[in-house]
Amino acid sequence: MPEANKLSIAEAHAQISAGKLTAVQLAEACLARVAAREPDVRAWVHIDVDDVLAQARARDAEPRRSALHGIPVGIKDIIDVANMSAEYGSPIYAGNQARSDAACVAALRKAGAIIMGKTVTTEFAMRHPNKTRNPHNLAHTPGGSSSGSAAGVADHMMPLGLGTQTGGSVLRPSSYCGVVGFKPSFCLINRAGVKPNSESLDTVGLIARGVEDIALSLPVVTECAAPVLSAMNKPRIGFCRTPQWASAELATVAAIEAAAATFARAGARVTEFTLPPAFNAMAAAHGVINDYEAFRALSHELRTASDKISATLQPRLPRWAATTVEAYINAQNIVADCQRMLRDVFKDYDALLVPSAPGEAPVTLNSTGESTFNSIWTALHVPAITLPAGKGPNGLPVGVQLVGPFGADYALLACAAWCERRLQ
């Protein structure tokens, strides 16, 4: 049996249910991994060892509540956890603590999960990098903005991390770190208690080491029972290079083309598909919406502590401030038109196969990479998942992304599970 901290959620749940593993043993194994690796990976803002073990002892003393009972979870530090850090990656909030749990955290507690601590985020979940490093190579970025959650899951510090995505902040770091990242349909996971960035785009997501673990976790954080789905058989997959294909590096091109060929050999109906021309404007529309809403979301910080806003963010502020309401409404209309067209696209496909990131994690700690292949799907509010799909020339992970129709989250997970088995 692997070390307890390396167990998947499904494996740990089975071991706990069978009486072969306790929540305390699992928590101790995860904490030992943190102690050994945190000086290098730097995934955490806050962990209270005594509190984690107290939660674990309480879980062992009561009946199991869910598949996440006794499972340690890392929470991105823009998601509130009562009496824990709420610094949002900014010196403006140094020492700040939340008074109550975010809705998704409250759901985890209700289900018997162990809230392990707060993971590192970039400044306000935007572009300024924080301290986290890629566990596969410490000279490379882990991606952002859910940097700590992706790196912590990848390094076996915990089996589940909560993140958020406004552009590509769950999918990209998951791809860079070689784990499974899932951005559900917009608002499927309640955002109460999450520091806002862009109210039209912000989405709470999940990071784990396998699709099954995502499927077990989603009903818990949504507090809705999963629908009964038959096993996916010969899925219909649209291989879509997207309007951003020119930004794909050789590692991503090789990974996604190999994945498409693998799925086809396994019996999937894989068809090359090109998005309608209207989608060429989607990336710019996402940018306009983000700029308009993010500037207003930071009104308090800009008024009271603008000198503490990073040098990364400062140059962007004039452009954000200049974004007109007319441009914002036009961008929202572009998105709405493409959402309608996308519904027709999914009449013929179970999922679209698209890149997760431009390539491997860049060799830098001064940038978290680009959301080139994620932002349009975030703006369109559809579910998306990244799967590990091999290594690039530097030996770092490369992922592929599957995108499904709005509201069909569990059907997308079923398709992703089918694809995951073929990629292993």
Look at residue 54 and give its three-state secondary structure: helix
Catalytic residue among 76, 118, 183, 195: 76
Of these residues, 145, 149, 175, 217, which one is catalytic? 145
User: How many other CB atoms are found less than 10 A from the CB of residue 267?
Assistant: 12
> In this structure, are residues 221 and 194 in contact, taking their beta carbons and an 8 Å threshold?
no
Number of other residues whose CB lies within 10 A of the CB of residue 277: 8
Task: Give the strand pairing for 236-240 and 351-355.
Answer: parallel
Distance CA 209, CA 227 (A): 22
* Cβ burial, residue 18 (10 Å; 0-12/13-18/19+): exposed
Helices (H), 1-48: 9-17, 23-41
**Residues in Cβ contact with 329 at an 8 Å cutoff, skipping those fewer than 6 apart:** none
Catalytic residue among 90, 146, 147, 169: 169
CB 236 within 8 A of CB 269: yes
Query: CA-CA distance, 39 to 49, in Å (whole number)?
Result: 16
Instruction: Please indicate whether residue 169 is annotated as part of the active site.
Output: yes
Task: Determine how many CB atoms are found less than 10 A away from the CB of residue 424.
Answer: 8
DSSP 408: -
CA distance linking residue 172 with residue 143, whole number of Å: 6
Q: For 61-146, where are the alpha helices, taking DSSP H only? A: 103-110
| Catalytic residue list contains 145 | yes
Q: Is 347 exposed, middle or buried (0-12, 13-18, 19+ CB in 10 A)?
A: exposed
- Separation CA 391–CA 5 (nearest Å): 23
As annotated, the active-site residues are 76, 145, 169
